[in-house]
Amino acid sequence: MARVRVRQHVNPLSQKYQDPIPLPNWEGVFANPQNPLFVDIGCARGRFVLGMAQEWPEMNFLGVEIREPLVIEANEKRDRKGLSNLHYVFSNINVDLPCLLASLPPRVLHTIAVQFPDPWFKKRHAKRRIVQPELVDAVAKYLPSGGQVFLQSDIEFVAVEMRDRFLAHPQFTPQHPTLWLTENPFPVITERERATQNKGEPVYRCLLVFGKNEDHR
């Protein structure tokens, strides 16, 4: 099967990405919609959650991607593998996240991951980055107590910005004593992480937990 070719950079502030998506019917998407859910934001071709869905069949996995051809391709690959705990959605997450999370069955959200997002290096493009304060607020509203946020990038200032925006919320705390995790805590890694490691370059990653003393769901 030919590899779908798409633009590497998509401007999430473009008008064509401002319309909200139709919300999935979770009963029809997952065989067991009450299972814990892992959401990978900006999943690209979705190979990370494809691998995770096979490694951890007791969990559901949702890949979210703004480039629709990649979503179509990923769902076709999922169908060929017959995975009923995996789904991909075409979405501008900075528009759709609150409604998407609100539509989930209660308390299923377990982990949110943002891995190697487009850094948008220029200062005037900073608003195009995925982790904005509004995204943090949406995650905090719907992530149950004890839920996790996993962040990583090979660009240090991007990793610092993502981490600091979550830590600015009083209910998020690191799950590790060091500034960055030295190892990925999951059994699957992304293509970008593998390529970065093969070049001998650092990956800046952290795992945060949402406050266990308050239930915000």
Active site residues: 118
DSSP state of 24: P
Q: Is 181 helix (H, G, I), strand (E, B) or coil?
A: coil
Q: How far apart are CA 78 and CA 13, in angstroms?
A: 29
* DSSP sequence for 98-153: HHHHHTSPTT-EEEEEEES-----SGGGGGGSS--HHHHHHHHHHSPTT-EEEEEE
The Cα angle at residue 42 between residues 39 and 48, in degrees rounded to 5: 65
Q: Under a CB-based contact definition with an 8 Å cutoff, are residues 55 and 127 in contact?
A: no
Count other C-beta atoms under 10 Å from residue 27's C-beta.
10
Q: At what angle do helices 133-142 and 93-102 cross, to 10 degrees?
A: 10
First to last CA, the chain: 42
Q: How far apart are CA 37 and CA 26, in angstroms?
A: 11
Count other C-beta atoms under 10 Å from residue 78's C-beta.
21
